[in-house]
Amino acid sequence: MANVVEGISKELASIVEAAGPAVVRVEGRRRLPASGIVWSEGGIVVTAHHVVEREDRLSVGLADDQQVDAELVGRDPTTDLAVLRVEGVGLSPAAPAALDDLSVGHLVLALGRPGRTVQATLGIVSALGTSWRTAAGGTIDRYLQTDVVMYPGFSGGPLVNAEGKVLGLNTSALRGVSLSIPNSTVDRIVESILSHGKVQRGYLGVGVQPVKLPEALAEELGQETGLILISVEPGSPAEAGGLTLGDTLLSLHGDPVPRLDDLLSLLSSELVGEEVIVRVLRGGGVREQKVTIGERQ
């Protein structure tokens, strides 16, 4: 038994040693520093938005004890992510892992570097789910909750699996529990910020309220509710596309919108500037309108 425990102990230590160089210290607030992950080539570092309280005088502490200046490329408060760039030093990006083979009960390690050396805490995956929306309106591709203890300064650091590969970025700011933002979400946000300096989000310009559809139409469409327009902003994409007060949205770009969350999820960066078909219920009949999606400022 002792040999088994010793073997597990050595394996955990080797995981931390292998993943540690991609974990950095982020100096972006007055109090305790936080952590970050070397995400990709070109000195791209990701961390948690809530730990970057200033936009200048940022620095990053590396595994070899160097401290170098960092530039804030952009941030997305809705997913609690910030992207930094470090130049002039060679950084090795973290090795990513897919969530496909991850299950509740799997052992995971949360790593951080709020000080000079890497720190670690062990736990299990306590909950896995599908995509969800944060209170600020951001879309997270998968719900990944663990029981790891998020020590001060661990936000922004990686969650790693038993192979030492990164599953996501740890944060305690989204729901008050230990959550990890999966790699797919981080990749999407990083790509948008590097391309546009921010995360683009679609804009329709309407106020909506869920409403039950007529029974026959509900059966035909396979959805019980739509979104009735209670306001249409002047000069908005909705007004330009011919949507009017009292219309009931049924679908956008071919996807049903029975709830507000469904509409918000569809208004992604991919649709900005695109002409889409919006199906509405108007005067007892279903009709289609062409609307060009704007960009939320």
Please choose, from the candidates 161, 59, 42, the residue with its C-alpha nearest in 3D space to the C-alpha of residue 110. Answer: 161
- Among candidate residues 35, 155, 180, 192, the one labeled active-site is 155
Closest CA relative to residue 288, chosen from 246, 243, 256, 226: 243
- CA-only gyration radius of the chain, Å: 23
**C-alpha span between 183 and 141 (Å, rounded):** 9
How many Cα neighbours within 13 Å face the side chain of 21? 9
Which one of the listed residues 80, 141, 251, 269 is annotated catalytic?
80
Which residue in 35, 40, 49, 50 is the catalytic one?
50
Residue 270 neighbours by CB under 8 Å, 6+ apart: none
Active-site residue, 106 included:
no
The amino acid at residue 41 is: E
The string of DSSP codes covering 82-113 is EEEE--SS---PPPB--STT--TT-EEEEEE-
The SS3 call for residue 48 is coil
- Residue 155 known to be catalytic: yes
Let me know if 147 is a catalytic residue: no
Give the residue numbers annotated as catalytic, written as ranges: 50, 80, 155
